[in-house]
């Protein structure tokens, strides 16, 4: 029997509906939550992402400020803009769209955003709080993975979760959040010995390796949950995840598609983080 398809569009719509209700409460108390997005240069993919974030803000009742800077913007100029937004009481969240042009230092830019406005969850203060299990902004894609599992009532506690990939953006924080939900977590990567055998023991597989169709059906335990974070552009222009979806769905118990799986969740969690920032400022924080 084919796996249940985990619909990221449905789940993200549910989360955005919740965010919209909480944003309306903020607006009634003082003003709508406000997200400032900085785009440096004219990378086509980044432009699409920024447009999608703007549309999501409109749908959720969140004020969207956009700052489009030329590709040759100096580091000092970008940091000055971030400093101005940090000190603007009318801004709740700041996001600088990555990747940045090569002459800019991404770490310095990420570190410059005030932790209380870091709705991407990338600042070292928020990363440290996440690892310590403290209240903080969680990185949007890994947080979205957890929300998908919870929405589908897929058990996490006591289960073996295998994360394939160890990036700071997805792999490491996904492992930390699964651990926080009381899973037993294994992180696999390019140096992992017996990768296939390790993955085959997983009740939950999170694929975030950036290689199309890397996870094959023979690597999966029958009935496992598969969360495919990968999004890869093939030679023919089609999109593919890190999992061989057609074959894997015949083995897995539940699986996310690409597109329409994890992707929509990232923006939904960004909306929720922005609302949470506004609630914290207003003393309305719900967690």
The dihedral built from the CA positions of residue 277, 106, 79 and 129, taken in this order, carries a sign that is: positive
Whether 107 is catalytic: no
Q: Strands of 100-174 (E only): list them.
A: 160-164
Provide the Cα torsion 126, 132, 135, 141; round to 10°.
60
Rounded to whole angstroms, how far apart are CA atoms 254 and 130? 27
Q: Which two tokens stand for residue 24?
A: 């309306």
Rounded to whole angstroms, how far apart are CA atoms 277 and 259? 29
Alpha-carbon 9 to chain mean position: 14
Whether 75 is catalytic: no
Alpha-carbon 222 to chain mean position: 27
Sequence-ordered list of residues with C-beta below 8 angstroms from that of 229, at least 6 positions apart, any chain? 141, 145, 165, 170, 174, 206, 207, 208, 241, 242, 262
Whether 97 is catalytic: yes
Of 92, 118, 120, 203, the active-site residue reads: 120
Rounded to whole angstroms, how far apart are CA atoms 92 and 277? 6
For the chain, what is the radius of gyration of the CA atoms? Answer: 19
The dihedral built from the CA positions of residue 246, 249, 251 and 255, taken in this order, carries a sign that is: positive
Rounded to whole angstroms, how far apart are CA atoms 59 and 146? 23
Of 16, 92, 97, 159, the active-site residue reads: 97
Q: Is 272 helix (H, G, I), strand (E, B) or coil?
A: helix
Rounded to whole angstroms, how far apart are CA atoms 279 and 7? 29
Sequence-ordered list of residues with C-beta below 8 angstroms from that of 33, at least 6 positions apart, any chain? 23, 26, 61, 62, 63, 92, 93, 274, 275, 277, 278
Residues serving a catalytic function are: 53, 97, 120
């Amino acid at each position: 029997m084919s796996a249940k398809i985990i619909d990221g569009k449905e789940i993200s719509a549910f989360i955005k509906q919740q965010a919209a209700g909480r944003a309306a409460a903020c607006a009634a108390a003082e003003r709508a939550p406000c997200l400032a997005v900085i785009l440096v240069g004219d990378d086509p993919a980044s432009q699409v992402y920024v447009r999608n974030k703007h549309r999501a803000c409109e749908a959720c009742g969140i004020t969207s400020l956009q700052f489009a800077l030329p590709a040759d913007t100096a580091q000092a100029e970008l940091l000055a803009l971030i400093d101005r937004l940090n000190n603007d009481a009318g801004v709740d969240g700041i996001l600088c769209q990555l990747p940045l042009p090569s002459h800019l230092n991404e770490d310095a830019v990420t570190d410059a955003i005030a932790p209380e406005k870091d709705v991407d969850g990338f600042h070292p203060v928020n990363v440290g709080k996440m690892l310590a299990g403290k209240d903080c902004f969680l990185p949007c894609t890994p947080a979205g993975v957890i929300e998908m599992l919870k929405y589908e009532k897929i058990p996490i506690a006591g289960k073996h979760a295998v994360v394939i990939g160890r990036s700071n953006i997805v792999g490491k924080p996904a492992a930390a959040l699964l651990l926080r939900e009381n899973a037993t977590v294994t992180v696999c990567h390019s140096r992992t010995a017996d990768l296939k055998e390790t993955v085959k023991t997983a009740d939950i597989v999170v694929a975030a390796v950036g290689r199309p169709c890397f996870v094959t059906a023979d690597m999966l335990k029958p009935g496992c949950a598969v969360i495919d974070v990968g999004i890869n552009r093939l030679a023919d222009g089609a999109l593919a995840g890190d999992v061989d979806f057609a074959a894997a769905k015949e083995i897995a118990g539940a699986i996310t598609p690409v597109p329409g799986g994890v992707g929509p969740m990232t923006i939904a969690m960004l909306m929720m983080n922005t609302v949470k920032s506004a609630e914290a400022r207003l003393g309305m924080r719900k967690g």
